[in-house]
């Protein structure tokens, strides 16, 4: 797969194109918007094409990076225009894409389609913010259907590894079911919480005085792009409805335990969730074996720099850093996540600079 066409050159398409150029592939790119094609070609250093057909001519691999609702149609055109190429996509939801392809593409060509979901991106959009580094180390899910050719899937997985990402094979329905829990459900839970507090707040302005760190954590996702998310949620509506049903059932069970003043059962539920949370690490690569260290920070310019500089000097890599402002108040407290191996080094480096670290986990 040395000859690659990118269809749709927004943030993800242009980044994938740049990563393919980086490993020596010949890359062409096309976007429905000619100015976007031109901008992307300059940034990622690939060949701009005036039409979809021109882009896919001679390609071994076509990567469809258009919005979810347009994927199946563009993939169908690519499968027809490039009768020997493997075609994949970059959509966040997979069952609806596979169904769309099955409806639009003749059976003889469907073996060349393999769905994909490169789990990278950022809150930015457009080719101007693209970079090959966006695919470094990310999980890139491949979701072959029963009709996908086994050789095509293997070839695509090798190509994904060559680009620097981590290929993970998964049935489309299983992909959609799992991301419903860990990506789509959190989005809905956050939005509902923010909406509820805002409604309550309309005649209670002081509610915001009382809103501290925990509320901020839970409502951060509520600031995401509404149009993007409504597309994703509707495309994955069956799995999300099921996840929401299970979430509501769990909330209702906890509500009833609290209402019955069953402190023992409430504590047990919290202990189980705490144990599960502590097995989660901050980045997939370092999930096992991390340490979380709490450090109070004076609230003035330069204070955080003293901390991060001390760690950089001490050769400690910060896996995660969050300013938590303490449990309920507005003061400065940092939670650092480092690898468990580096916990001792972190503590001694910080103590030597008069910080007061405490290991939480």
Distances (CA, A) of 307 to 88, 301, 322, 356: 45, 12, 12, 11
Buried b or exposed e, range 206-219, using 16+ CB within 10 angstroms:
eeeeeebbebeeeb
Q: How far is the CB of 53 from a copy of itself (least distance, A)?
A: 31
The answer to whether the beta carbons of residues 40 and 8 sit under 8 Å apart is no
341 binds a copy of itself (CB under 8 A): no
353 binds a copy of itself (CB under 8 A): no
CA 341 to chain centre: 27
Task: Kindly tell me which of 26 and 296 has the beta carbon lying closer to a copy of itself.
Answer: 296
Burial of residue 19, with CB atoms counted within 10 A of its CB: 0-12 exposed, 13-18 middle, 19 or more buried: buried
Among 32, 33, 158, 267, binds a copy of itself (CB under 8 A): 267
Q: How far is the CB of 13 from a copy of itself (least distance, A)?
A: 16
Among 2, 33, 217, 341, binds a copy of itself (CB under 8 A): 217
351 binds a copy of itself (CB under 8 A): no
Task: Kindly tell me which of 57 and 231 has the beta carbon lying closer to a copy of itself.
Answer: 231
223 binds a copy of itself (CB under 8 A): yes
Residues in 295-334 that interact with a copy of itself by CB under 8 A: 296, 299-309, 311-313, 315-318, 320-323, 325-331, 333
Q: How far is the CB of 19 from a copy of itself (least distance, A)?
A: 13
266 binds a copy of itself (CB under 8 A): yes
Stretch that binds a copy of itself, among 41-49, 83-91, 107-115, 265-273 (CB under 8 A): 265-273
Strand ranges, E, within the chain: 3-7, 26-30, 47-48, 61-64, 86-89, 113-118, 139-143, 166-169, 290-296, 320-323, 333-339, 358-359
Nearest partner of 89 among 111, 108, 115, judged by Cα: 115
Q: How far is the CB of 27 from a copy of itself (least distance, A)?
A: 21
Among 143, 219, 291, 347, binds a copy of itself (CB under 8 A): 219
254 binds a copy of itself (CB under 8 A): yes
Residues in contact with 156: Cβ distance below 8 Å, sequence separation at least 6, in sequence order: 1, 61, 86, 88, 114, 116, 142, 167
Residues in 180-199 that interact with a copy of itself by CB under 8 A: 181-183, 185-198
Distances (CA, A) of 23 to 12, 156, 181: 17, 15, 34
Q: Is 349 left (phi over 0), alpha (psi -120 to 50) or beta?
A: alpha
Task: Kindly tell me which of 54 and 228 has the beta carbon lying closer to a copy of itself.
Answer: 228
Q: How far is the CB of 85 from a copy of itself (least distance, A)?
A: 27
* Partner residues linked to 321 by β-bridges: 336
Residues in 4-63 that interact with a copy of itself by CB under 8 A: none
Among 59, 81, 93, 233, binds a copy of itself (CB under 8 A): 233
Stretch that binds a copy of itself, among 23-31, 46-54, 77-85, 207-215 (CB under 8 A): 207-215
Task: Kindly tell me which of 5 and 20 has the beta carbon lying closer to a copy of itself.
Answer: 20
Residues in 123-162 that interact with a copy of itself by CB under 8 A: 123-124, 129, 131, 133-134, 136-139, 141
Distances (CA, A) of 262 to 35, 169, 248, 258: 62, 43, 19, 6
């Amino acid at each position: 797969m040395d000859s690659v066409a990118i269809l749709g050159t927004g943030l993800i398409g242009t980044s994938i194109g740049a990563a393919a150029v980086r490993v020596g592939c010949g890359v062409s790119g096309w976007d429905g918007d000619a100015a976007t094609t031109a901008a992307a070609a300059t940034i990622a250093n690939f060949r701009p094409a005036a039409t979809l057909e021109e882009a896919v001519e001679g390609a071994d691999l076509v990567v469809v990076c258009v919005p979810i609702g347009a994927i199946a149609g563009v993939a169908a055109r690519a499968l027809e225009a490039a009768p020997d190429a493997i075609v994949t996509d970059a959509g966040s939801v997979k069952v609806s894409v596979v169904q769309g392809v099955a409806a639009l593409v003749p059976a003889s060509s469907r073996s060349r389609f393999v769905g994909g979901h490169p789990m990278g991106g950022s809150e930015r959009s457009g080719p101007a913010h693209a970079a090959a580094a966006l695919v470094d180390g990310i999980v890139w899910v491949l979701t072959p259907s029963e009709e996908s050719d086994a050789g095509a899937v293997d070839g695509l997985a090798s190509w994904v590894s060559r680009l620097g990402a981590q290929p993970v094979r998964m049935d489309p329905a299983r992909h959609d079911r799992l991301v419903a829990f860990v990506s789509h459900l959190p989005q809905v839970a956050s939005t509902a919480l923010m909406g509820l507090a805002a409604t309550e707040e309309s005649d209670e302005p002081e509610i915001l005085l009382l809103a501290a760190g925990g509320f901020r954590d839970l409502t951060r996702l509520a600031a995401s792009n509404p149009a993007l998310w409504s597309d994703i949620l509707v495309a994955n509506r069956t799995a999300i409805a099921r996840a929401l049903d299970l979430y509501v059932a769990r909330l209702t069970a906890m509500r009833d335990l609290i209402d019955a003043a069953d402190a023992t059962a409430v504590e047990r539920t919290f202990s189980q969730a705490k144990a599960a949370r502590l097995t989660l690490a901050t980045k997939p690569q370092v999930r096992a074996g991390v340490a979380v260290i709490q450090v109070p920070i004076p609230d003035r310019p330069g204070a955080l720099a003293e901390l991060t500089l001390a760690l950089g000097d001490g050769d400690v890599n910060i896996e995660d850093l969050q300013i938590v402002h303490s449990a309920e108040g507005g003061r400065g407290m940092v939670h650092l996540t480092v690898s468990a191996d580096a916990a001792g080094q972190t503590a001694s480096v910080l103590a030597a600079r008069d910080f007061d670290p405490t290991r939480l986990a």
